Structure 1
Amino acid sequence: MRDVLERVADGDLSPAAAEAELRGYATTDDGRFDAAREQRRGVPEAVLADEKTPEEVATLAAAAVETTGRALVTRASDAAATAVRERLAADHPEADVTVHDRSGFVVAHAPGFDAPDVPATVAVVSGGTGDAAAAEEAAVVAREMGATVDTVHDVGVASIARVLDARETLDDADALVVAAGREGALPTVVAGLVSAPVVGLPVSTGYGHGGEGEAALSGMLQSCTVLSVVNVDAGFVAGAQAALVARRVGAARDGNT
């Protein structure tokens, strides 16, 4: 503790960063940021932009960069993404900011951020273009957790040949996220082809009876092949779960189990 206080007194550590080291989280006017989550759980904390003002999102993103060297913001509107850019340009002008437009996922890295590196691969597969936003969210978080990510898009079961054409990529993955809307059949099909764990990601595409992802979720839960299932549109959770599996695989590959 004395070392932390001395670094604050010397100007080498901000109060927020000091609080994060001592308590594991940083307190802002707009909420608390769990700076120790990645060390504790293996999954980085992310700022969910839904139901927050752009200013609140920007404040929490700045706290994330200040305390961990990285900010992950999910479901950001254009206004929230702009607010994050402007706040980081003012507070952390050397931070690198990337906005993934389809999913609204914003990633910021401070200079010198030490990204994790996992010697394992996650394949993120989507049934159709309408599933791409949830799939992108899964791919970004898996990549931020250190996994190599291969993406396979638009291989819905309406033309099963498209899935079979991607067989080599599917077989090479150490874990897979498979996103599908409508009746949600694609994860069941893929899980019947590969030996690696599959995380089914139901997507709120489709209409009529069982629309908004309900049929996709029910279909995956009733799968006759072995797979895990997350909530509708829960791309972050699916990608993080697959990356945790990949991390274990990578550790075993390196002999660090």
Structure 2
Amino acid sequence: MMENKLKELLEAYKAGRVELEAVMERLKTFREEDLGFAKVDHHRVLRNGFPEVIFGQGKTKEQVAAIASRLAAAGSTVLVTRTNREVYQEVSAILPAAEFNELARTIVVSAGEIPPTGGKVAVLSAGTADLPVAEEAAVTAAVMGNEVERIYDVGVAGIHRLLGRVELVRRADVVIVVAGMEGALASVVAGLVDRPVIAVPTSIGYGASFGGLAALLTMLNSCAAGIGVVNIDNGFGAAALATTITRLKKV
């Protein structure tokens, strides 16, 4: 078991048989706890700065609950994305501290071991229909240790809504822009701020939006400088990328 390996390594270090650098290196290579249907990576936090995240889509409620319970038992913060209330009820029966955000489709069980980054992330959504993806980004960014500012429904169809909040956006260290339809909001925001902009295309839109492909291509072809683009509907990925940037404030 993982606990036995860690105990042996700690004893070897205390006895002077292993140097600290070697201990840290070996800790980074301990990969998994085998549950049969999943291999839980307990040491991802050492390599990447945040524990393994459970992608709920396609997993049974029992599988999600089992993985979550093992992460929590190891003292890790638990984040489940793309999930639902039925799964939450299964998880909360084992982990009563679990919190469910129905809009974001996330479950969080905080262990308090993630240090604040000291950074601020602004999450903008073009429209109300983009909120599930925007909330996924906001919840993830907050759990990963960032201060989060939500600025929703500021799409280009009513651009005055954005212009009235530009100073608020400029206070952030990283800006996540979530937009469907034609995806123009990211270009407009990047032209107004001197911060990294992470663009998230969503699958929201009429037929010619091709399930988010139109917004994705618009964002990839933006003439505004300083934009990075993640995959369609990938609010989690945007928040994870934003966190790698805000962590640099502590370096």
- Band the TM-score falls in, shorter-chain normalisation: 0.7 to 0.9
- Give SS of 2:129's match: helix
Which residue of structure 1 lines up, in the alignment, with residue 212 of structure 2?
213
Query: Cα offset for 1:3?
Result: 6.7
Name the stretch that deviates more: 25-34 or 225-234: 25-34
CA distance in 2, matches of 1:238, 1:38: 18
Which residue of structure 2 lines up, in the alignment, with residue 102 of structure 1?
103
The letter for the 2-side match of 1:137 is E
TM-score of the aligned structures, taking structure 1 as reference length: 0.84
**Closer/same/farther in 2, CA of residues 2 and 81 from structure 1, 3 Å limit:** closer
The letter for the 2-side match of 1:161 is H
Which residue of structure 2 lines up, in the alignment, with residue 37 of structure 1?
44
Which residue of structure 2 lines up, in the alignment, with residue 77 of structure 1?
84
Which residue of structure 2 lines up, in the alignment, with residue 158 of structure 1?
157
* 1:82-124 CA distance string (max 9 Å, x none): 11111224xxxxxx211011121100124xx323111111101
**Residue 23 (str. 1) matches residue 30 (str. 2):** yes
| Structure 1: runs of 5+ lacking an equivalent | 8-19, 90-95, 252-256
- Give SS of 1:182's match: coil
Query: Cα offset for 1:30?
Result: 2.9
Which residue of structure 2 lines up, in the alignment, with residue 245 of structure 1?
245
CA RMSD in angstroms comes to 2.0
Q: For this pair of structures, how many residues does the alignment match?
A: 231
| Structure 2: runs of 5+ lacking an equivalent | 11-26
TM-score of the aligned structures, taking structure 2 as reference length: 0.86
CA distance in 2, matches of 1:35, 1:165: 44
Query: Cα offset for 1:144?
Result: 1.4
Question: 1:194-213 residue pairs with structure 2 within 5 A?
Answer: 194-213=193-212
Contact 1:147 1:247 in 2 (8 A): no
**Residue 4 (str. 1) matches residue 7 (str. 2):** yes
CA distance in 1, matches of 2:149, 2:216: 24
CA distance in 2, matches of 1:153, 1:198: 16
Which residue of structure 1 lines up, in the alignment, with residue 18 of structure 2?
none
Query: Cα offset for 1:2?
Result: 7.4
CA distance in 1, matches of 2:143, 2:38: 23
**Closer/same/farther in 2, CA of residues 105 and 79 from structure 1, 3 Å limit:** same
Query: Cα offset for 1:6?
Result: 10
**Residue 126 (str. 1) matches residue 125 (str. 2):** yes
CA distance in 1, matches of 2:46, 2:5: 22
Percent identity between the two aligned chains: 38
